[in-house]
Chain A
Amino acid sequence: MENNDIKISTNSLELFYGDIHALKNINVEIEERKVTALIGPSGCGKSTFLKTLNRMNDLIPSVRITGDVYLDNLNVYKQYDIVELRKRVGMVFQKPNPFPMSVYDNIAYGPRIHGIKAKNKLDEAVEKSLRNAALWDEVKDRLKQNALGLSGGQQQRLCIARVLAVEPEVVLMDEPTSALDPISTLKIEDLIDDLKEKYTIVIVTHNMQQAGRISDKTAFFLHGEVVEFDSTEKIFSMPTDKRTEDYITGRFG
């Protein structure tokens, strides 16, 4: 195995929704500038795990978390200001959720709340982010139009561009293509492939082929535990655990 830098790591991470034990003793290491896929049946905790990484679970009052999450060796729950953390760890959601504003204002939203006011800097950030999200050519003539008028696939790439505008280091994606048609899905997958040159990407997906196509490493979640975490190649060709094999061959789940 080549020795890569570890961007995110967890140490005996446990999460409870009230009485429900949703994550059990999670110890994983996520490598920098790689795509890590999280797979597993519905309700296995993979989305929940993803949301512990940028503390989106904090919004749910009944959640209790023990154990540690580290980003660049600093404790996410103790050593980061939540604004600073979310600036560095961006998130793309399952359904495209652009703000009901113009395309331009959607992208400029992040830079603006983080204090950038100068028009030329905002213009620059908007163009750069849209280019990086492979959306610039499609929307450059309609920057002032409402983002809700874009197609679903364009909206999702807009949401990715909106995240990139904040210049994060990690991008979390929660089933980003599950609401999209196959062509839009392919575009997003190509985009993810480009993005991993600069960003560490963690993606939750229900689509086995997608995980196989785009990820470097894959973690298989079941009942709140990580059953197996290895290189994507190994997981899909010769998984160690019987349960992983059953799942990826479609025998259950």
Chain B
Amino acid sequence: MKIKSQSADKAATIVFYIIAGIVVLLLAVFVGYLLYQGRDRLNLHFIFSAPVFGKEGGGIGPQLFNSLYMVFLSMLITLPIGLSAGIYLAEYAKPSKVTNIIRFCIEALSSLPSIVIGLFGLLIFVNLTGWKYTLMGGALTVSVLNLPVITRISEDALRNVSPSIKEASLALGATHWQTILKVLVPSAIPGLVTGVILTTGRVFGEAAALLYTAGMSSPVLHFSNLNPLSHGSPLNPFRPAETLAVYIWQVNSEGLAPDARKIADGASAILIIAVFLFNIVARIIGRSLNAKFTGKSSRK
């Protein structure tokens, strides 16, 4: 009996190692393929120059910038709202019918296909507002997409903070709000960082929700013009802004440049590198925030 359970234990260990190995291998092959295909476009000229219409040698500068700006803007919208909603659900909402309905809605929202949210964005943020295709419209649309995720992750991160810490704070005479602000949210930072990474990755890669909201064109951007109100400024949120993922889709399906395939390959490689870099940076920021709050770890 003992022998049997031990060999079962061994078998299970081996099976899980194999499965994990397959996942890692798949990822490595996939990333390797993308980087290999896009290898001759991994240069600064391609990254920083603008596309050239119908001719060879165009870059992806504006699209890459638009993607980054889109991530920034959508986070600016999603984070405060999502975190607040998470705080509400974790700390204030009493178990009741209304709370259950809210949770149900959040879950339903997070399982909607992004093209549906894109069309919703087209109705609301493009047509109803009369903005036409804008970066802001796109950012609001992907925020709709990401809000449920951030809300859910903040709620979980806050719930995972040990209740004994909350008790300690209240017993010292802190109010509920002080406890949330000074103990619960800082303790939840590692979980929140994971949420931010997931959602930024999603914004980087999102195409369907942005096709009809941020548009498939980018005006000529003058990077010396930093006035957010001026039309040609890259910082103007009320201009059309094709992102990298949308550009890949566009070039692949209707690109007119003779090197369209190469551009798509290069852009994909850059996209995946950008996502990696973003993850790493987010983790570093998260770790230093955490260290700033928790003090130096005495166990190295």
0/1 per residue, B236-280, Cβ < 8 Å to A?
000000000000000000000000000000000000000000000
Select from chain B the residue with minimum beta-carbon distance to A172: B171
Choose the segment among B38-46, B161-169, B218-226 that binds chain A (4+ C-beta atoms closer than 8 Å): B161-169
B185 shortest CB reach to chain A, Å: 12
* Contact residues of B between 148 and 172, Cβ < 8 Å to A: 162, 164-165, 167-172
Count of inter-chain pairs, beta carbons less than 8 A: 92
Choose the segment among A30-38, A94-102, A208-216 that binds chain B (4+ C-beta atoms closer than 8 Å): A94-102
Are the C-beta atoms of B171 and A86 separated by less than 8 Å? yes
In the complex, what distance in Å separates the CA atom of A59 from the CA atom of B168? 12
In the complex, what distance in Å separates the CA atom of A82 from the CA atom of B172? 10
Q: Count residues on chain B whose CB falls below 8 Å from chain A CBs.
A: 25
Contacts of B4 in A (CB 8 A): none
Contacts of A224 in B (CB 8 A): none
Q: Is A149 an interface residue (CB 8 A)?
A: yes
Q: Is A145 an interface residue (CB 8 A)?
A: yes
0/1 per residue, B109-137, Cβ < 8 Å to A?
00000000000000000000000000000
Contacts of A102 in B (CB 8 A): 294-296
0/1 per residue, A142-164, Cβ < 8 Å to B?
10111111100000000100110
Q: Is B182 an interface residue (CB 8 A)?
A: yes
Q: Is A166 an interface residue (CB 8 A)?
A: yes
Are the C-beta atoms of A93 and B296 separated by less than 8 Å? no
In the complex, what distance in Å separates the CA atom of A113 from the CA atom of B186? 15
In the complex, what distance in Å separates the CA atom of A59 from the CA atom of B179? 14
Contacts of A144 in B (CB 8 A): 295-296
Q: Is A104 an interface residue (CB 8 A)?
A: yes
In the complex, what distance in Å separates the CA atom of A224 from the CA atom of B130? 69
In the complex, what distance in Å separates the CA atom of A41 from the CA atom of B293? 41
Are the C-beta atoms of B167 and A86 separated by less than 8 Å? no
Q: Is A46 an interface residue (CB 8 A)?
A: no
Given known contacts A99-B169, A109-B182, A149-B298, what 6 new A-B pairs fall within 8 Å (CB)?
A97-B168, A99-B168, A100-B294, A101-B293, A145-B297, A149-B297
B interface vs A, CB < 8 Å? 94, 162, 164-165, 167-175, 178, 182-183, 186-187, 293-299
A interface vs B, CB < 8 Å? 54, 56, 59, 61, 82-87, 90-91, 93, 95, 97-105, 109-110, 112-114, 142, 144-150, 159, 162-163, 166
Q: Which 4 A-B pairs have the closest CB atoms?
A: A102-B295, A149-B298, A86-B173, A97-B164
